Amino acid sequence: MSRFPNPIRGVILLIGLALARIGLVAPERVRRTTDLSWPRIVTGVARMSKNAVDVAMVGIAIGPAAIAGVGLASAYWGIAFALGGGFAAGTIALVSQRYGANAFDELGQAVRSSLLVVVAATIPVMLAFVFLPTELVGLINNEAEAITFGAVYLQIVGFAVPFAGVNLIGSRIYIGVDDAWTPMLVRAGGAISNIVFSALFIFGFDLGVAGAAYGTLLANVLVTVAFTVGVVTGRLPGAGELPVTVDLTGSYVDWPTMRQIVEIGLPVVGRSMVWTVANFPMLAIVGMFGAPVLAAYVISRRIWGIMNTPGWGFGLASSSLVGQELGSGNERTAEAYGREIVLFSVATYVVAAAVVAVFAEPIVLGFVGSRADPSFSTAVTLVYVSCFAVIAQGVSGASAGPLDASGDTTWPFLSQALGMFAFSIPVAYLGATTELAYWGLYLSFVAETTVPAALNYYRFSTGKWKLVSRKFRPGSAVADD
């Protein structure tokens, strides 16, 4: 899988082999997990860096109101990824299990039906963003300038919503068949092109916030074209021969397959929507602290997003590897993969958080430009808190991987909802309305990750997910290894 020397792969492998040296994980599983996870982590770093750069560029070009506007619009843009990523969980579960069982005809049907489901789900969202941008942004903030910037951004990126959903399906197809290189190449390339397009439109054509939105739209279209070519022809420039081809002219409507995709995917959509929906009251609550704190919060969430990218790799690697073992009936090996990937994930998060904590101040300066900026000190503190809180995400995301692979997706959804709506948001509100003050924000960050981490790992430890998986497998044979 590693086709050129990559420092991220090297660091991840080093962490895994250190764990293997002390007997916590098996070396062969470390290598297989590393090969499948590191391209996805690179993709995540590229995409989250793109989001951070967009905020930094509009902040430099226009000012704090533009940062706030993009932050408000991004809350809605997250719906595209909640829908696409949610139904793509059904894709990776069905594709990985069929790949493990060599049921390739069923694999193609799973892909086509996934595309139909995600397009049908995202078209209405696109229409809402395009025709009601001002009304939507105005629901969560009353600052006229921020609403104007946010509406401009949201209306343009609205056209990209179906493309973003399709791109997530394309990514999961390859990860489900043990190829994380291709989606990394395509989606990281898309993120880099997004940065280039945005810089050109913002600074070259003086389009401001609209330039950032046009960059996002164009990049998503290009990624969709690349995935389509790869799936149909079985090859891509730079990627060579690909492990699977799909006939996109075949039947899309297959009710049993679509029901399975929806059954697996809806709870994952709900889980993703928890943060997306929770983001609206959170932004409103943080706005009660004042504009500098809102800007600091948006900055810290962008940095959080970059720190959280190991979860992209380990969660999907766990889903794919566990799903393949389940598909071939090897439940004991599937459990071993799930348990060891959790340990691997947590160790990687600790390293990432430590690096960000050391460089927190210069990182924040990249957004605000000066220590005198009223949001600087608050942003730095929120980054430090994020470094602590994000470690639990290593448990939460990696524990959810086996549950997603098995089709047991309701539990992670409920755990995320409980963490956000029963703990994180209420604590933040207490901070905004009582003497708890900023400590409310700090504690909300911690609650957001620790509650789902505890509940997801508990569910994984019970082993019930293995029983759930049996109704989604292409065959019924179950081995004990």
Beta carbons of 311 and 393 less than 8 angstroms apart: yes
Name the burial class of residue 436, with classes exposed (0-12), middle (13-18) and buried (19+) by CB atoms within 10 angstroms of its CB: middle
Report in angstroms the alpha-carbon separations of 444 from 74, 416, 425. Answer: 20, 13, 7
Report in angstroms the alpha-carbon separations of 476 from 93, 98, 327, 351. Answer: 16, 12, 9, 41
Looking at the predicted structure, is the pLDDT value of residue 200 above 90? yes
β partners of residue 330: 479
Beta carbons of 55 and 367 less than 8 angstroms apart: yes
pLDDT in tens, 443-478: 999 999 999 999 999 999 998 888 888 877 665 444
pLDDT classification of 1: cutoffs 50, 70, 90: very low
pLDDT computed for residue 258 by the predictor: 92
- Residue of higher predicted confidence among 178 and 449: 449
**Is the overall model pTM greater than 0.75, yes or no?**
no
212-222 mean pLDDT = 95
pLDDT in tens, 95-142: 877 887 777 778 889 899 999 999 999 999 999 999 999 999 998 877
Looking at the predicted structure, is the pLDDT value of residue 3 above 60? no
Task: Supply the mean pLDDT for the chain.
Answer: 87
201-223 mean pLDDT = 94
Least confident of 35-49, 166-180, 284-298: 35-49
241 SS3 class:
strand
pLDDT classification of 292: cutoffs 50, 70, 90: confident
Name the burial class of residue 143, with classes exposed (0-12), middle (13-18) and buried (19+) by CB atoms within 10 angstroms of its CB: middle
**Strand duo 235-236 + 240-241: pairing:** antiparallel
Between vectors from CA 114 to CA 109 and to CA 119, what angle results, nearest 5°?
135
pLDDT computed for residue 474 by the predictor: 64
236-264 mean pLDDT = 85
pLDDT computed for residue 328 by the predictor: 77
Nearest-CA neighbor of 191 among 312, 275, 106, 281?
A: 312
pLDDT in tens, 387-414: 999 999 999 989 988 888 888 878 888 8
Q: How far is Cα 226 from Cα 247, in angstroms, rounded to an integer?
A: 16
The percent of residues in the chain predicted with pLDDT above 70, rounded, is 97
pLDDT in tens, 336-356: 999 999 999 999 999 999 999
pLDDT computed for residue 473 by the predictor: 67
pLDDT in tens, 10-28: 999 999 999 999 999 999 9
